């Protein structure tokens, strides 16, 4: 196996377009583990660590742009992730443990597309968009179109994630990533990501995504619409939860059975909504 460290996007794309069997190395938390057990053995390993364009965060027109090589720790510590975008900060702080958060990157995490991971559901609820680069240039993918199956995204073979754009609006929204796992730091048995805003006693904005219950983050506009314009009473939360529950298709694995995951879905949604409603009533 060969190893290279391109120092420019042009150099990176030269490797990507001329080598068939390659892997891009971001934080390495997942890729190195897969290489260690022989699941992947690329001809060329392309490190992204010298590419400054993929690093850091900046705000542009009420959207925060998060470079693909930004670590989970940097996102956790970023106080500009407010309003709707606070949801992404909430999720980042719950990923594994500090050693992993210091090493892992958001671009690497979403490119792996594990539905049990924290960022896929959080970015779906936050209505993010993904900027990618390939031989044909740059394009932007809506988050609802980015994850297409288990461990599969809509990236073409030669495309890489450049950045994640997260709207800061609604500025008065509260974002929560509620995660149920066997032990601290584990992948979720079920997770619920929620962005919620209120005008007085009425819900003015809601976007829910449930993780680890389908091949991709589960979101239904119909469920969001039940909450929007409502007082977020128990009956309304239950109706939205029922829609999501009926659309779920969880698997049986070491973290929980399908039936157990279905048991958790409405309970976590209720907890996330009522917790957000309570917090908003004191702002």
Q: Can you read off the two tokens belonging to residue 229?
A: 């314009």
Q: In whole angstroms, what is the distance from residue 279 CA to residue 273 CA?
A: 10
Section 31-58 average pLDDT: 88
Asked if pLDDT for residue 27 goes beyond 90, the answer is no
Domains of the chain: 2-167 (3.30.465.10), 174-280 (3.30.390.50)
Q: To the nearest 5 percent, what fractions of the chain are helix, strand and coil? A: 35, 25, 35
Tens digit of each residue's pLDDT (9 = 90 or more) over 207-253? 999 999 999 999 999 999 999 999 999 999 999 999 999 999 999 99
Q: In whole angstroms, what is the distance from residue 82 CA to residue 168 CA?
A: 6
Q: What is the pLDDT of residue 283?
A: 56
Judge contact between 51 and 162, C-beta under 8 A: no
This prediction's pTM? 0.94
Tens digit of each residue's pLDDT (9 = 90 or more) over 76-103? 999 999 999 999 999 999 999 999 999 9
The pLDDT-based confidence of 157 (bands split at 50, 70, 90) is: confident
State the average pLDDT for the chain: 95
Question: Which residues in 56-65 are b (16+ Cβ under 10 Å) and which e?
Answer: ebeeeeeebb
Closest CA to 120 of 157, 148, 159: 148
């Amino acid at each position: 196996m060969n190893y290279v460290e391109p120092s420019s996007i042009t150099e990176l794309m030269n490797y990507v377009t001329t080598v068939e069997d390659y892997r891009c190395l971001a934080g390495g938390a997942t890729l190195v583990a897969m290489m260690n057990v022989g699941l992947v053995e690329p001809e060329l390993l392309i490190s992204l660590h010298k590419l400054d364009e993929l690093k850091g965060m900046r705000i542009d027109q009420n959207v925060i742009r998060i470079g693909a090589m930004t670590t989970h720790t940097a996102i956790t510590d970023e106080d500009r992730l407010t309003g709707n975008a606070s949801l992404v900060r909430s999720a980042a702080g719950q990923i594994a443990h500090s050693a992993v958060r210091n090493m892992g990157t958001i671009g690497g995490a979403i490119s792996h597309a594990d539905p049990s991971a924290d960022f896929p559901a959080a970015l779906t609820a936050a209505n993010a968009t993904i900027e990618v680069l390939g031989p044909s240039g740059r394009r932007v993918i809506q988050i609802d179109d980015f994850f297409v199956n288990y461990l599969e995204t809509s990236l073409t073979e030669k495309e890489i994630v450049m950045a994640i754009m997260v709207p800061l609006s609604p500025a008065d929204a509260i974002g929560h990533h509620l995660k149920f796992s066997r032990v601290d730091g584990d992948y979720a048995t079920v997770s619920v990501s929620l962005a919620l805003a209120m005008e007085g006693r009425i819900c003015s904005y809601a976007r829910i995504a449930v993780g680890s219950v389908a091949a991709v983050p589960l979101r239904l506009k119909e469920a969001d619409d039940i909450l929007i314009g409502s007082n977020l009473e128990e009956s309304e939360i239950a109706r939205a939860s029922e829609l999501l529950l009926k659309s779920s298709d969880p698997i049986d694995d070491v973290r929980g059975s399908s039936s157990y995951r279905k048991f958790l879905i409405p309970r976590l949604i209720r907890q996330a909504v009522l917790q957000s409603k309570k917090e908003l009533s004191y702002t």
